[in-house]
Amino acid sequence: MESSSMLYQNGVDESLKNDGDSQQEEVDEFNNLQTTITDGSPTDENRNTRTKRYGFGPIEPDCLQILNKPVYFLIVQCIVIFNFGFAATGLNNTMLTSIEKRYGFKSTQIALFTMTQHFVAGVVAIFVCYIGHKHRPLTIAIGCFISSIGFLTISIPQYVVPLYQAGVAMDTDFCRANTTSTVSKDCNTESTNIDDDINVLPIFLLGYALLGIGVTPLYSLGAAHIDHITTRKQSSLYFAVFAVIGFLGPAIGFVAGNPILNIYVDIKQPSQSNLKPTNRNWVGAWWISFVIGSIITFIPILPMLGFASEFPNTWRVIEAKKKHVDTIRKDKDLKHDLKDFVPSFKKLLRNKPFMCLILSVAIESLTISGFSVFLPKYLETQFYLTASSAASYVGFAILPGSVLGILIGGYLCRRFSFNGRKLLIFNLVALCASTVFMLGLLMGCDSRDIVGATSPYYNSSSAELSIDDQCNQNCQCSMKFYKPVCSVLDQRTFYSPCHAGCSSQHFADGVYANCTCLPQDTKIKMVDGRCMPECSQLPYFMILIFFNLFFTFVTNVPKAQAYFRLIPEGQGSLGQGLQQTVVRFLGFIPASPFFGSLIDRSCELWHVDECTGQTTSCLEYDNHKFKYYLMALAFLTKIISIFFMILSIKFYRLPKKNGTGEDNQENVELM
């Protein structure tokens, strides 16, 4: 207990060094306060440290009390957010393309997954944070348990749906113009990869809804508890560590997704199949990621349950914070119970600088959330990477830029002890810089030339583009599986060997022969796979995206501290809940459908179900439309975010103390 007291004493003394001429007076006042309480004042009797020991119910052995310190809460909390970010952001977003391909979802349907998660989280955030304020560690542990169940639920479709049919090399891949047999469409048995009697979409949505409930306390109450138990300078360091670990999880998750995607979805391929990860029809073992997520989010539950609602010396930190000039004192008329929920909530809504700040963050988060989901798909499309390679590049892009930005932002806050106004100005400057580096989205490769979709067949007499043409009209081609082939010389991609009119293949070198849709007087080689246009812009894209991520995340710690500087003491948890609700409804929830809709608009070639005539997933995109649409959306959200940040600075006023030492509420800008 004595060492814990000294730890807090040193932290408080350090946090007071930059408060101007009143430094020594405040330190003396704090020392007098500590002496008075230690000498057995009534206040000391009210601080029942026995109820604030580390343990599990009646089991509170002395050997466990070494863990009853803020630094150990930070360690356990970092494990919580690392594991969740690793699975829910890194692995999850890496697997979405495979899920889309496996079950024939459109991008807009994939967007429903994250949209459901954020909608549920936004609905419950305020209530969970307000109720969970009384015992934050317990609420965080409950959130871990619900998240673990959610991850396990998402993996269920793998166990209830028949094995994946990827399409194998058979004679039906070739043109059958000179044969008497016919190829029939089997629409009554297994015409698609999904059993018609099993609708897996509700299962996915249920799993993501559980993740939405579980994630709410992990970040909101975790941040509120860190601010509650640490001094100003301690919180700068703690928030920096908290944020770095929070982004290490997703970054490492993106990289870890690579080997998982190289495992076949059903582990063992059918005997007649020999697909490789580079094949268009390859689907990785996406479900393994969610099983891993279920296990690792369950692990920190027990250590988190051991923490009490606060630490024995937390009250000393609270007393010391009251000395800072930008601290807004707690409203004594508002108690933290259900009766005062509505008055407390209204007071936050009328706080102009706070609401403008969270509106700025919410609008910017639309772009951040959208790219966190679709950046792997963006790299796959723009630079012709495999799903596993794209996941690795995303991890390498996120890791250095975001981590370096967070560390520098935390150091600057600790070094210069920014007050509320300076924190907001710092956020504005970094926001403007990150907007400039959004120009990296202009980088990308040219689109593929898809015969029948973007360009006509050789010597075609039809004025309209169509996958079917006179050169393959008698070939009995199937569109069930997309098995592209490339004419090497002119870099044109055909839907399949059959659609190129090819009737055979030289297995020694893999070159197709007798292709009726190629000019007869040339020696154009036709090989497996899509054509890969030459492109050297990936390194430049990675450099620009590094600086964009740096300036985006250098504000992470300043924003976290600004949230608590703009609201009264005791409302941190409710403020975090409101912030999470606004950010999710204005940022995270519309991000996925907005991005998904724009991506679908840039599709050049859709897969069409032969039996129903309905379009399923997109096979090829127009790269220029793809990047221009997303860049326009990103710039628009950044400009709006800058506008609200300027308003927050305009409305902010340092709280003034009256003669009794209480805040003068008239100096707080209210709506």
Q: Which stretches of the chain drop beneath a pLDDT of 70?
A: 1-51, 166-172, 178-197, 322-338, 463, 507-508, 521-522, 656-671
pLDDT score recorded for residue 340:
72
Spatial CB neighbours of 125, under 8 Å, sequence gap ≥ 6: 216, 220, 577, 578, 580, 581, 584
Instruction: Give the pLDDT score at 661.
Output: 40
Round to whole Å and give the CA distance between 619 and 612.
Answer: 18
Asked whether the beta carbons of 496 and 484 are under 8 A apart, the reply is yes
- In angstroms, the Cα distances linking 159 to 105, 134, 167, 203, 289 are 18, 40, 21, 12, 14
466 neighbors 460 (Cβ within 8 angstroms): no
String of b and e for 581-598 (b: at least 16 CB within 10 Å)? bbbbbbbbbbbbbbbbeb
The confidence score (pLDDT) of residue 223 equals 86
Q: pLDDT at position 3, please?
A: 41
**Angle at 180 (CA atoms; ends 165, 175), nearest 5 degrees:** 50
pLDDT at 629: 92
CB atoms within 10 A of CB 164: 21
Cα Rg, the chain, nearest whole Å: 29
Question: Who's near 346: CB < 8 A, 6+ residues apart?
Answer: none
Three-state secondary structure call for residue 270: coil
Q: 454-461 — which CB contacts under 8 Å span 24+ positions?
A: 454/604, 454/622, 455/492, 457/517, 458/517, 458/518, 458/519, 459/519
H or E element, residue 493: strand 492-494
Residue 33 CA to residue 394 CA, distance in Å, equals 52
Classify the phi-psi angles of 225: left when phi > 0, otherwise alpha if psi is within -120 to 50, otherwise beta. alpha
Query: What does the pLDDT read at residue 592?
Result: 79
Structure tokens at 398: 């996120």
Task: Give me 591's structure tokens.
Answer: 């991000």
Amino acid at 46: N
- Residue 187 confidence (pLDDT): 59
Q: Is 222 left (phi over 0), alpha (psi -120 to 50) or beta?
A: alpha
By percentage, how much of the chain surpasses pLDDT 70? 82
Q: What is the pLDDT of residue 326?
A: 53
Residue whose C-alpha is closest to residue 133's, from 228, 18, 52: 228
CB-based contact 222:243 (threshold 8 Å): no
Assigned token pair, 134: 């009384």
- The string of DSSP letters for 226-257 reads HHHHS-HHHHHHHHHHHHHHHHHHHHHHHHHH
Q: Residue 291's CB: how many other CB atoms inside 10 A? A: 16
pLDDT tens digit sequence for 381-392: 899 888 778 877
Residue 660, pLDDT score: 40
The 3-class SS string of 505-556 reads EECCCCEEECCCCCCCCCCCCEEECCCCCCCCCHHHHHHHHHHHHHHHHCCH
Side-chain half-sphere of 6: how many Cα atoms within 13 Å?
3
Q: Enumerate domains of the chain plus CATH numbers.
A: 61-164+199-319 (1.20.1250.20), 325-438+537-654 (1.20.1250.20), 449-532 (no CATH)
Closest CA to 164 of 259, 89, 263: 263
Output DSSP code: residue 657.
B
Helix residue ranges, H only, 280-436: 286-298, 301-305, 314-321, 341-349, 352-383, 387-416, 420-436
What is the crossing angle of helices 70-84 and 201-229, to 10°? 160
| Tokens encoding 541 | 């894209």
Q: Which two tokens stand for residue 521?
A: 């007087």
Query: 279 is written with which tokens?
Result: 């094949």
Q: How far is the C-alpha of 346 from the C-alpha of 341, rounded, in Å? A: 9
* This prediction's pTM: 0.71
